Structure formats: structure tokens, C-alpha cells
Amino acid sequence: MTATLRTESTPIPTSNPLDVMEELVSANEWRYDRSNDEEMIVEIAGQWCEYRMFFVWQADLGAMYFSSLFDLKVPANKKREAAELLSMINERLWLGHFDLCSEESAPMFRHTILLRGTSGVTVEQLEDLMEAALCECERYYPAFQFVIWGGKKPEEAMQAAMLETVGEA
């Protein structure tokens, strides 16, 4: 028996979510480049590194793709351990996932917002997306460092990443 999905034709938002994102980025005085209506690059300094964020609007799908690339290269001899760590991290996430960018050989956080059937993206949705992405990137950056440069096993790196720090040293 074959499952069939019945769909209704719902309107795709005509407003470009990157216009709203550009306002948010400008208000926060982040560096960005928007070379065309469908793509935007934002650079944000985190606690551990610079994050390069990519936003792509696919009007025909009614979807906005987002990724945050770490300023961190995974050497070829550490890709297996990095992939194992990615798998452990992804099991814990509710929103988005981590991946290894094949071009840059760097970890990245990815998520897509589907907007079909809505009136468009809200500032609050974009703020939540940015906050969640930055929080997860900052939380797990040290785990990648432990695996890549510290020689730790993915399990050890994951345990260290999950420790909650209180106060400042």
C-alpha cells in the first residue's frame, strides 16, 4: 500500500525574509553583505571565534535556509572523530543540526525555516533563530577543539561541553 499525501495550494509569502533579516542585522551593527535579493552573509564575533552566517531565500519553495560556519578547520585525520561528535551533538538538538561543510572542512549549524502558508517571517522568529544558533555554536565549539586539537575522544569532549559553568574566573 502506497501512502499518498494530499496537499492544498497555500500561498507562498511574497515578502522576502532577508529584508527583515537585514533590518535585524543593521540594528545590531553586525557586518554583512547582501549581494542579491536571495543571499546574505553575516559575520558575528562569538566568545570562541568568528561565525559566518549564510541566509538563502528560495521564493519558489517558500523557505529560508540558514547556516552558521565555524572559523575552525577539521584536519583529514580527525574527520571520523568530528563526525562521531556531530552525531552525539545532533541527538541533543531540538532545532537545526550540525554538519561538516565539505568545501571548508569546518563544522556548521544548519536550519531551514518553512514559510509556505504564512504571512511571512517575523522579527521574533529570526531573533530566536539567531539566538539558538549562537547558543549552540558557542556551547559546542570547545568540544570540537577538544577533539581536533586536544586529542580527546568524542565522548570526553561531549561531557566537557555539557558542563554548566557558574560565574567567571
Query: What does the pLDDT read at residue 101?
Result: 83
CATH code: domain 17-162 is: 3.30.1460.10
Confidence of residue 49 (pLDDT cuts 50, 70, 90): confident
Checking if the pLDDT of 9 tops 60, the result is no
Query: What does the pLDDT read at residue 116?
Result: 84
Domain positions in the chain are: 17-162
Model confidence pTM above 0.95? no
Q: What length does the chain have?
A: 169
Query: Residues of the chain with pLDDT > 70: what percent?
Result: 88
Checking if the pLDDT of 102 tops 90, the result is no
- 70 and 107 Cβ atoms separated by less than 8 Å: yes
Instruction: Give the separation between CA 135 and CA 101, rounded to whole angstroms.
Output: 19
Q: For strands 97-101 and 106-114, give the pairing.
A: antiparallel
User: Chain-wide mean pLDDT for the chain?
Assistant: 86
87-112 as b/e: b if 16+ CB within 10 A: ebbeeeeeebebbeeeeeebbbbbbe
Nearest to 88 by CA among 78, 98, 101, 76: 98
Pairwise pLDDT comparison (20 vs 119), residue with the higher score: 20
With cell 522576502, the residue in question is: 16
